[in-house]
Structure 1
């Protein structure tokens, strides 16, 4: 046979990858909603304690702040790395021969996925609940198209350059974007919009009320590529590393051990290197293209510096390695977490919409306010229960099913398979 079809290339689903996706999503829930159980035990705000603007009063304060800081930025990085793993699973390993027609079909599927993610991300951004990552992901998918079947060494070289150089470009761009772009179009630089829908939800205790608002997204092309919350110049490093990880034999114990070991080294170099260099800076740090050198050396969550990207990449590799081990050893104990990992798009989108609907009720609405003080526990529990029930009954999540159907449908229409070899492919 001249080549193997894409269906023949596919490997059985790895539970450990689903578990890692579940870990990433739960981490993002915590970053957005707070630390579970902290409403019972924490005397201060974990966000304020982690940032240093409030001193911890108890051990619970310190633990909550540590958990929050542990997931902030790192969950999104893990999510992006796993997106790269998924891209490789969709495209197939480079060492498996595919025809030009197969590759064209795969590219179309990825483009459709990217377009849908951009549309969903832009729609969710209108809620203003959190900084949405999905439309950034769509851009990452498009940028990854030329990289799908590169040789491993070439891809590794590009990934290394992106991890080390891309964030520097992003930090410098962010600092000068407003001055350089001037009166550039909103599509390029992004603008803040007034809400196009607003409804004042009254009825709270005393003067408590809050509007439900919808606002046009403020991200422009420069935000998506270089200066936004999840800029491509930084996050493509995670995606490319994920693409390399997806090419490995993730069922091999040796590979898993190497992932965790290399990841640990990367985390130490990234976070540790930042810690040392920041403390070596003089009282008045030198400028680099008008930017304080300290801004290039920190590794704070969402700073998107080379040190944070390197540290986050290492942490994500450790998590993936450990999840692969844990999924094999824990049996069905991790099924709820793996179920969450099979429908991350659905659960991520749902939590943003529900946050928007319930946020006005979180203060001044009596018993409702008391319940919503524990929203982190509610969201995490609901994710485990609903994902497990849905997976048992239907399998793939609803938005995941729609996304795959759209991608496969468009690809089959644009590049139909020969009747004699038509196969059902579900990626």
Structure 2
């Protein structure tokens, strides 16, 4: 006689957390992307509420910080979520993340090679992944403490390194650009991925936890932004450096009250020779620029051209007599810039204040998606493939900046909105067909082929 036995489904083990997608994180990623895109089409440096043309400035710095904080959340999701891995599982997770970081770094390098004028964040994003590897097994308390310490110590490390005499000779190397002097200096940005990792280790299905994260974000915003006047008074005064800017008045007999912009014809870029650029309306080869530091830089779509020399008053010790800047005078100058929370300043105030903005946005996005995530579906699709969307933006930005569409004097709402619509269309198509974006599929394919990764 055959006995029939009913088999109960196996219960999941505690070490195998559910893979339910956190829609609020996708929504936060999409907002970070929209903010970074807005920053690239903004021309104003400061936000003024009653002037819509300045609204793009609100995204400067904060959107990329949100993106970096979400990188920490992603790390937690890829390494056990609320469960800290150990043993071979931890080793495997670190290897998968390392390979992923190397691929993202390579993609970032290709986007930088396009010379779009955008400060591409992907290389720093990848380096932050690698730096965070030792912290994958850390407790949340350890992560929060480390993030708090680096919020203060990180900017000081950057200031010290930039003050070293040999810095001027090493800054041209890519490593110096990534770790020290770039738009996203590593030592100042470590805090964001650590605090994001701590958020990802939290049970985000708990309403209480999400509210606490939001409250912490508000507290950090208050501490970071409201104390700027206090710290600006406490910072040392800068060394008395007088900047002499190259001026066409040396070549034109112009009254001080006259507008110098009308003393020469409009420069014609077609007249320039290879390697030339205009300085106050004159080609560089037509001027004596000996002893001057000339630059031709493009940042976030804005071209900045000029020549200048820096002289120091005789009672200062900016030069140690060997032709190199004095360390302490230079370090003092860097400290004098700490009393601000301006975007990309990398100061403790910016790290704490903008880090608080990131936590608040993440908390609000999770709250919004707890019950009604379906209404945000197009944005969720965009946030689920942020790497592909970011690359698409850099490529289209590079194409558009060479056209007449790129001429704007206020926030380019049309270009920004057009980019967002294009990104949503692409993300929707891939989400409905392949579930992942093209670059996400590429990264996952490489990770699977080189590690023991599983879906």
Pair in the same fold by TM > 0.5: yes
2:361 counterpart of 1:407: no
> Does the C-alpha gap of structure 1 residues 288 and 101 become closer, same or farther in structure 2, counting only changes over 3 Å?
same
In structure 2, the partner of 1:316 is 358
Which residue of 282, 295, 299 corresponds with 2:341?
A: 299
What is the distance in 1 between the residues matched to 2:406 and 2:389?
A: 27
In structure 2, the partner of 1:81 is 69
**Structure 1 residues 86-115: Cα deviation after superposition (integer angstroms, max 9, x where no partner):** 1111111474554x2222211111111111
What is the distance in 2 between the residues matched to 1:410 and 1:5?
A: 27
Report if aligned partners of 1:171, 1:296 keep a CA contact under 8 Å in 2: no
Instruction: Report the secondary structure of 2:44's partner residue.
Output: helix
2:44 counterpart of 1:47: yes
Following superposition, the deviation at residue 225 of structure 1 comes to: 1.5
Which residue of 402, 414, 419 corresponds with 1:374?
A: 414
Instruction: Report the secondary structure of 2:166's partner residue.
Output: helix
Report if aligned partners of 1:296, 1:306 keep a CA contact under 8 Å in 2: yes
2:153 counterpart of 1:165: yes
2:160 counterpart of 1:181: no
2:108 counterpart of 1:137: no
2:171 counterpart of 1:239: no
Report if aligned partners of 1:33, 1:375 keep a CA contact under 8 Å in 2: yes
What is the distance in 2 between the residues matched to 1:172 and 1:257?
A: 38
Instruction: Report the secondary structure of 1:374's partner residue.
Output: helix
- Worse-superposed segment, 125-134 or 152-161: 152-161
Report if aligned partners of 1:336, 1:384 keep a CA contact under 8 Å in 2: yes
2:327 counterpart of 1:327: no
- Worse-superposed segment, 149-158 or 320-329: 149-158
Query: Bigger radius of gyration, 1 or 2?
Result: 2
In structure 1, the partner of 2:454 is 425
Instruction: Report the secondary structure of 1:360's partner residue.
Output: coil
Q: How many residues align?
A: 352
Q: CA RMSD in A?
A: 2.7
2:59 counterpart of 1:101: no
Q: More helix per residue: 1 or 2?
A: 1
Gaps spanning 5+ residues in structure 1: where?
Answer: 35-45, 192-219, 366-371, 413-423
2:207 counterpart of 1:253: yes
Gaps spanning 5+ residues in structure 2: where?
Answer: 1-9, 241-328
Report if aligned partners of 2:378, 2:424 keep a CA contact under 8 Å in 1: yes
> Does the C-alpha gap of structure 1 residues 4 and 190 become closer, same or farther in structure 2, counting only changes over 3 Å?
farther
> Does the C-alpha gap of structure 1 residues 122 and 392 become closer, same or farther in structure 2, counting only changes over 3 Å?
same
Report if aligned partners of 1:94, 1:149 keep a CA contact under 8 Å in 2: no
Instruction: Report the secondary structure of 1:225's partner residue.
Output: helix
What is the distance in 1 between the residues matched to 2:168 and 2:429?
A: 52
In structure 2, the partner of 1:127 is 114
